[in-house]
Amino acid sequence: MDNMIYLFAAIVFLAAVLASISIWAPRKFWLRGAAVIATAGLVIVSYIGFSDLLSRPKPVHLEWAMRTVAEARVLGASPREGEAIFVWLQIVGVAEPRAYRMPWSKDLAQQLQDATEESQNTQTGVRMRSPFGTEAWKDDQKPAFYSPPRRAPAEKASIGSEPLIFEESG
């Protein structure tokens, strides 16, 4: 996540503003010192927290910035019965794949299983329809997970169907 440094810089800036306010407040010296130490603790804890969050799958309901994404390619999935469905998605326009956690659903797990089996036959991979719009998962007409059909091979130009015309330059 390339944006983590900017988020961390914002936390440090806000912590510095709070520390400067506490330093210049008309309070006892030990209270102002405690505020500065608490600010340093906030910076350390936020750095550890951010770096820990980078290794965990993000819940799909928190991905509000990409609600309009129509489809994503499923690179990997791990359903845990009764707990969650973990998916690794490649989203168009995003450079690196991202890990997400979906709430457990027997229907979604079955769709994922069916799409995975079908993709092994067609070798077209598994796609997820509207990965961040949970209302699309409840649609019985279109499954959330599917394997796209194999494309028809390109038509070969039949030799001899049209005359070949050679122009002489001269």
CA distances from 154 to 87, 137, 157 (A): 33, 34, 9
**Contact present, 62 and 18 (Cβ < 8 Å):** no
Query: What is the domain range of residue 10?
Result: 4-53
**CA–CA distance, 92 with 72 (Å, rounded to integer):** 7
Instruction: Say if 15 falls within a structural domain.
Output: yes
State the pLDDT at residue 169: 64
Instruction: Say if 62 falls within a structural domain.
Output: yes
pLDDT tens-digit series, residues 113-158:
999 998 888 888 899 988 887 665 666 667 888 888 877 666 665 5
Structural domains in the chain (count): 2
Are 88 and 133 in the same domain?
yes
Q: Token match 């910076």: residue? A: 43
**CA–CA distance, 49 with 35 (Å, rounded to integer):** 21
pTM listed for this prediction: 0.66
Instruction: Say if 39 falls within a structural domain.
Output: yes
End-to-end CA distance of the chain: 64
CATH of the domain at 106: 2.40.50
Q: Can you say how many angstroms the Cα of residue 150 is from the centroid of all Cα atoms in its chain? A: 26
Instruction: Say if 128 falls within a structural domain.
Output: yes
**CA–CA distance, 6 with 3 (Å, rounded to integer):** 5
pLDDT tens-digit series, residues 43-90:
888 888 877 777 788 888 878 778 888 889 999 999 999 999 999 999
Q: How many CB atoms lie within 10 A of CB 21?
A: 10
Instruction: Say if 90 falls within a structural domain.
Output: yes
